Amino acid sequence: MATISFDLVSPENLVFNDNVGSIIVPGKDGDIGVLPGHSKVMSSLRPGRVMVYSEDNNLVKSFFVSAGFVEINPEKCILLAESVNEMNDLDKTTIENEIRNLESENSDSVNYKLYVARKKIEALESTFYKKFT
């Protein structure tokens, strides 16, 4: 099976850069599965999980991105994320505390943070992508 080069970039650094089997990214209009040779697509992202699979369809890494863009062409997939967390680093209780703190305030920026935090919980709880066949 062929591989596709995948770059995950945040404003602060290059988070991931390797050749992988396939990737699932949370596109604005729905998740996009990217396999080698994918047609050219440019999409913005919603907060959600980015799943990276190796050539033999094992999950290599999964990330949470809050927003961003993805550019896909047959050889390469470039994901520009506003902020990136590795899924393993997310801790449910800390996020729930954060949500509780944020709920007491009310402004545009807080609402956005709240929205992202809730999406993080959602992503943590979802088991939807655990297996890839």
Partner 1 sequence: MPSLKDIKTQINSVGSTKKITSAMKMVAASKLRRSQEKAEAARPYSSRLEEMLSSLASSAVSGEGIIKLLTGTGNDQNYIVVPVSADRGLCGGFNSSINRETFKLVKSLEGDGKKVQLIPVGKKSRDFFNRVMKDQILDTFVDLNVSSSGYESALNISNKLQELYFGGKFDKCILVFNKFKSAISQEVTEQQLIPLDVSNSENDEEKENSSNAIYDYEPDEETILKDLLPKNVSTQIFKVLLESDAGEQGARMAAMDNATRNAGEMIDSLTLKYNRTRQAFITKELIEIISGAESI
**Binding stretches for partner 1 (CB under 8 A):** 7, 9-14, 27-29, 32, 39-44, 67, 69, 71, 78, 80, 82
Is residue 62 within 8 A of residue 37, CB to CB? The reply is no
Closest to partner 1 by CB, 44 vs 57, is 44
Which backbone phi and psi does 38 adopt, to 5 degrees?
A: -60, 145
Name the minimum Å distance from CB 75 to partner 1: 12
φ, ψ for residue 62, nearest 5 deg: -135, 140
Shortest Å, Cβ 32 to partner 1: 8
Beta carbon nearer to partner 1, 59 or 80: 80
Q: Cβ 74 to partner 1, closest distance in Å?
A: 10
Q: Which is nearer to partner 1, 12 or 56 (CB)?
A: 12
d(CA 82, CA 48): 12
Closest to 33 measured CA to CA, from 20, 24, 41: 24
